[in-house]
Amino acid sequence: MLALGAWLLCPQGQCALNAFDRIGLTLAQGWRSATLDPWMKGFTWAGSLLVLIPVALLAMGRLLWLKHRLEAGFVLLSLFGASVLAHLTKLAVARPRPDLFTNAVSMPVDWSYPSAHAMQITAVAAAWLLVVRRGRWPWALALILVLLAVGLSRIYLQVHYPSDVLAGTLAAALWVLGLHRLMFARPAPGKVGNGQGGRA
């Protein structure tokens, strides 16, 4: 997903402003207001590692207390892997940050594609939804709202293109789903135990 996005957005290593990103940034600029600015600056922190590492550790602690060691490791690997993938891709693609309008916060010093905030919050949210056993729908609603808030805040603040956020969200979701399948794959019938289909 990240490679496909990079190929579409920066063909032959040349990153240009496309119509989708131009429209998204223009709409976001039109929403700017003194009322929304502090809210968006607050929302954007929910996707940072300063917030998500403690959140992931709390989730791991809860899972370990319930003796779900594999699930605890899954949550940590989901966040760590998504963050590493995001930052390695930034270095490889080297897409400049938006400069169509004045940014509302200090511009981050790293590259734009993909949005690490979007990848990180998506990874934690998706991982938690895959391991939580009770109250899944209230969690899903709350986490979807947080995801939307973080993603929109990065565009609103003019520090990311909409395509950065979209690619990061999709890539993180695929990463977590793939990791979950790898870590929790069940053996096919007849491949466990003593070879006679018994349970391990």
Instruction: Give the DSSP letter string of 91-143.
Output: HHH-PPPP-SS--SSPPPSS--SS-HHHHHHHHHHHHHHHH--S-HHHHHHHH
Least confident interval from 5-19, 52-66, 91-105, 186-200: 186-200
Say what the pLDDT of residue 189 is.
Answer: 59
Instruction: Decide: pTM greater than 0.75.
Output: yes
Q: Are 159 and 103 in contact (CB under 8 A)?
A: yes
Say what the pLDDT of residue 137 is.
Answer: 77
Which comes out higher in pLDDT, residue 192 or 26?
Answer: 26
